[in-house]
Amino acid sequence: MSGIDARIAEVRELERSVRNHINTHRYQSVLLQDSNGWNQICSSLDVIGDTICSIESYQLQPFPDETGMKYIVTYGILQALFIQQDALRHLSEAFEIEYKGNAILKEIRENRNAAIGHPTKQNRGGEFFYNHVSRISLSKKGFDLLRFSKSRPHEMIRVDIISAIESQLDCIAVDYKRISEKLSEIDRMHRSKFKNTQLQDIFHSAMGYSFEKIASGIYAYSYGDKDFGHSNLHMVKTAYQRFEAALKERNELASHTEFDLKEYFHAIEKLDQYFTGASQWMEEADARIYHTYLLNQHEHFVQIAREIDQDYAEKT
């Protein structure tokens, strides 16, 4: 693996870690509350990824023989380096992390500005420069940039594109790593907050007994059995209220889970109406159907709790 290949692989791995963070529900739901910030993050990540693709192609593909294509490829790679810097700066800004930059990145920007950004009349601190890319010098490795100004009548700068790519990727990796490490620390602190409390514990072993007594209450021939079934339904409802609150506290209440819980509470409410006699139309067969739904769907929520607990345990 070449030096550029290794650097590209490192940047892509850092990109993956940031994308994993923002696509995790507990963080994504917060980020989405600020639409401008969210769009800035997504745009910046995409641009960094796109420019990495262009750098990779630049080093893999042969440099064109046709003069016009030489200019297009050279213009393209310089612009890719330029907007890649902007993207990382804006990504840092979106996560409220200081983007420091350095002299190396500044030189790459200045060379791009002189060669393809504002070549014909470049204003630098009130002094104007007139720049020319030497056509005969154009190659995959770089080109000679001729510059003229009042204070410097003639100047030639060697723009080393391969060196610029390698240096920029090193700098990008450093700043990208700073973002990734901050997000990892946020994740670690969040998990640590709940490391001693498991969602599975909300669904205690006695809940199986509660479901049995709810069923007995539905079939009951005495008010005592019916009341006992009703009280066990209340226990199940309380457990699910705690489960919903715990998911919200962890910011783990995904929209599909929230929908499922609403349906589950609806079924509990219907059974409550059966036990209290609040529903005139509800028959025993209807109550049995709702009870079966509650019993069968219960394992679905236990599995959700189990998966979240496992995820927290693995990365705490």
Q: What are the pLDDT digits (tens) for 55-79?
A: 999 999 999 999 999 999 999 999 9
- Structure confidence at residue 206 (pLDDT): 87
Same domain, 37 and 175: yes
293 inside domain: yes
The proportion of the chain whose per-residue pLDDT surpasses 90, expressed as a percent, equals 83
Same domain, 36 and 167: yes
Same domain, 172 and 203: no
This prediction has a pTM of 0.84
Of 141, 175, 192, which closes a domain?
Answer: 192
139 inside domain: no
Same domain, 50 and 181: yes
Count of domains forming the chain: 2
Of 175, 192, 209, which closes a domain?
Answer: 192
Of 172, 192, 212, which closes a domain?
Answer: 192
308 inside domain: yes
Same domain, 50 and 86: yes
Same domain, 174 and 201: no
- Structure confidence at residue 143 (pLDDT): 97
- Structure confidence at residue 314 (pLDDT): 76
147 inside domain: no
141 inside domain: no
- Contact (CB, 8 A) for 45 and 18: yes
Q: Average model confidence (pLDDT) for the chain?
A: 93
Same domain, 181 and 216: no
- Contact (CB, 8 A) for 48 and 11: yes
Place of tokens 């910046």: 44
Same domain, 84 and 36: yes
Same domain, 178 and 39: yes
Average pLDDT over residues 268-290: 92
- Structure confidence at residue 251 (pLDDT): 94
Model confidence band, residue 315 (pLDDT cutoffs 50, 70, 90): low
- Structure confidence at residue 77 (pLDDT): 98
Model confidence band, residue 37 (pLDDT cutoffs 50, 70, 90): very high
Same domain, 247 and 289: yes
Average pLDDT over residues 241-251: 96
CA separation (Å) from 197 to 189, 200, 313? 14, 9, 11
Model confidence band, residue 82 (pLDDT cutoffs 50, 70, 90): very high
CA separation (Å) from 39 to 20, 33, 57, 181? 16, 11, 27, 21
Burial of 233 (0-12, 13-18, 19+ CB in 10 A): buried
Return the higher-pLDDT residue of 72 and 311.
72
Same domain, 40 and 187: yes
Q: Is the pLDDT of residue 180 over 70?
A: yes
Spatial CA neighbour of 244 closest among 208, 199, 307: 199
60 inside domain: yes
Model confidence band, residue 3 (pLDDT cutoffs 50, 70, 90): confident
Same domain, 202 and 186: no
Spatial CA neighbour of 254 closest among 302, 201, 308: 308
Q: Is the pLDDT of residue 21 over 80?
A: yes
- Structure confidence at residue 150 (pLDDT): 87
Spatial CA neighbour of 84 closest among 112, 116, 65: 112
- Structure confidence at residue 1 (pLDDT): 53
128 inside domain: no
Range(s) of the domain holding residue 96: 3-112+162-192
CA distance 261 to 247: 11
